[in-house]
Amino acid sequence: MSAPEVRRCGKCGAAEAVCEREWQHTTMGVPSGSTTRDFCCQACGHRFELVPMRRVWTFTALSVLLGWTCVFPLVGGAMALAGYWPYMANPVVVGAPQPAIRFRATTPTRRCAKCGGVARCLTVTRTRSRGLPTGTTFDYACEACEGAFTIGSPGGHVFNVVAASVCFVMGFGCLPFGVVLWLMGLGALALSGFQLLAQVRNPLIAEAVEG
């Protein structure tokens, strides 16, 4: 069994940052072989994310190849730097012992609106489009009545609003086919609306939230 990867925390300097969650990347439901890892420092609680190096090198190569566009090198270079920075700021400490776990990756429980029972998060799904994060969804199920609902992240709601606005604006420019774009925009807003309603109707159980 290989030794666990321990990194030096870029915030407090302690060699106690360990992986707490690993996300498998999929494309159309098919595993891509890439993973994103969430690390947490067990000394101060600082968390950071390590994206696949494949993505960093892809943006770097495209920035070089498309340097003549002047714009893409700025955007692609910034995204490559953003992906690589956590690796530099939180380097691996070879031979460091596994620290005692003080901070655990937990998802808050919620009060079921249907029966008042405890609803726990079953799955967490992060979505991306062209490498850009478009939100996170949390699928809950009640332990008592098995009622299910989905909560969306603030970033997902912002993306839906922006996408809907783009659809509405573009719809005016290609009538009568723009009706399809308007329906797509309304669908994005409706999705966020249902998720926000579920968030309000199924509140957090404060005493169950951990650090």
Asked if the model's pLDDT at residue 13 lies above 90, the reply is: yes
Ramachandran class of 38: left when φ > 0, alpha when ψ lies in -120 to 50, beta otherwise: beta
CB 160 within 8 A of CB 189: yes
What pLDDT score was predicted for residue 210? 39
Please report which confidence band the pLDDT of residue 134 belongs to, taking 50, 70 and 90 as the band edges: confident
Asked if the model's pLDDT at residue 207 lies above 60, the reply is: no
Tell me, what DSSP letter sits at residue 1?
A: -
**Residue at 180: amino acid letter:** V
Rounded average pLDDT over 4-12: 93
* Per-chain mean pLDDT for the chain: 85
What pLDDT score was predicted for residue 43? 93
Q: Of the ranges 10-19, 21-30, 201-210, which is most confident? A: 10-19
What pLDDT score was predicted for residue 29? 65
Q: Of the ranges 27-41, 71-85, 160-174, 185-199, which is most confident? A: 185-199
What pLDDT score was predicted for residue 131? 63
Residues 6+ apart with CB under 8 A from 149: 113, 119, 139, 140, 198, 201, 202
Rounded average pLDDT over 76-101: 92
Asked if the model's pLDDT at residue 57 lies above 90, the reply is: yes
What pLDDT score was predicted for residue 70? 80
* Class at the top of the CATH hierarchy for domain 6-89: mainly beta
Asked if the model's pLDDT at residue 28 lies above 80, the reply is: no
Residues of the chain with CATH 2.20.25: 6-89
Rounded average pLDDT over 155-176: 84
Distance CA 195, CA 189 (A): 10
Q: Of the ranges 1-10, 37-46, 73-82, 132-141, which is most confident? A: 37-46
What pLDDT score was predicted for residue 211? 38
HSE toward the beta carbon, residue 157, CA cutoff 13 A: 12
Distance CA 101, CA 118 (A): 26
Asked if the model's pLDDT at residue 127 lies above 50, the reply is: yes
Asked if the model's pLDDT at residue 194 lies above 70, the reply is: yes
